[in-house]
Copies of this chain bind each other. A is one copy, B any other.
């Protein structure tokens, strides 16, 4: 059994990790970290865990945790993981960081978009971006896995084959994304109140959302650009808040390179994803809906080519708490420990 510790287990992503790990046949949770609820019963915070979890919440002493755990999940705000990680911890435990600390290779881009100093830049070179379908071979031997953001997982997976195969002009990419409210976290902030979210949709972080450089970096690699030398795809990314609990939909637009047709788009998707368990290719003209992936680790992708405008419109959908956070984190754990990737993740989507 893999011994897993969670720092930040009472946020929504952390709680989803608990749900998934409880159902994982080869993992057990040894540390329910939650600074806000130390010594309180976990099941008193998340009553869905009544009778299922007896443990109390622990602090975020990562050094102590590393002695008990084979893998540490940090489902915490930016900065915490970078401030705690050290060589001793890494000698005894793997880290899957669900925050943004190790996602961006370029520390100055991190500091520009996140408006904070990076406290452990020395680990950036070795950290592996944990987008499993793209980076699985590197993940297998990593000590630190930077689990991708929810918007980024959706956006990158939807566009990756088209960029990698050179079918679209990457500088025409526009991503209009929509997220359920659990993506905003469990913080008690006015904009997250039921009556503020319900019966409304809004854009936010327009032209400034922090997932933008993360998408740009990965798509730049796909495009074969020398990203660390300053070459980069530049995109527009606009997130929207939707009155639902879970789900992300990314609607992506890009101009086709000359001569590109539907068959080439289809081939590109199949080349990269045909064998992927968690990616479901809906085919041309069939678009994803978040309800069909809820509760599962699937990413559904569909597209159409608009010949009038010579653009492709491609869309991806996933559950932001599963493939967009905890599910992908467990998938990364499976890779790190040599298990089949879908171990404990063969979750049938829950509908309605």
Contacts and interface: CB of A to CB of B under 8 A. Distances in A.
Contacts of A247: 199-201
Contacts of A306: 206-207, 236
Interface in A235-253: 235-236, 238, 240, 242-247, 249, 251, 253
A291 B19 contact: no
A240 B236 contact: no
A348 B48 contact: yes
A246 B351 CA distance: 10
Contact of A245 (B48, B195, B253): B195
A181 B155 CA distance: 26
A331 interface: no
A263 interface: no
A292 B245 contact: no
A245 B202 contact: no
A280 B51 contact: yes
A245 B198 contact: yes
A289 interface: yes
Contacts of A46: 351
Interface string A252-283: 01000000000000000000000000001010
Given A194-B193, A300-B50, A308 B201 contact: no
A92 interface: no
A289 B189 CA distance: 17
A197 interface: yes
A27 B236 CA distance: 47
Nearest to A198: B245
A115 to B, nearest CB: 17
B249 A199 contact: no
A122 interface: no
A174 interface: yes
A238 B288 CA distance: 13
A124 interface: no
Contacts of A50: 280, 282, 292, 300
A192 interface: yes
Given A182-B352, A199-B352, A206-B306, 4 more contacts: A19-B349, A48-B291, A48-B351, A207-B305
Those 5 A-B pairs whose CB atoms lie nearest each other, nearest first? A200-B291, A202-B289, A48-B349, A195-B352, A176-B176
Interface of A: 12, 15, 19, 22-23, 46-52, 171, 174, 176, 178, 180-182, 186, 188-190, 192-204, 206-207, 234-236, 238, 240, 242-247, 249, 251, 253, 280, 282, 285, 287-296, 298, 300, 304-306, 308-309, 311, 313, 315, 346-352
27 contacts: A15-B351, A23-B347, A47-B289, A48-B351, A49-B348, A50-B292, A171-B309, A174-B174, A181-B198, A182-B195, A182-B352, A186-B190, A186-B195, A188-B188, A188-B189, A188-B190, A188-B193, A195-B352, A199-B247, A200-B244, A201-B290, A202-B289, A202-B290, A206-B306, A234-B309, A236-B313, A246-B352
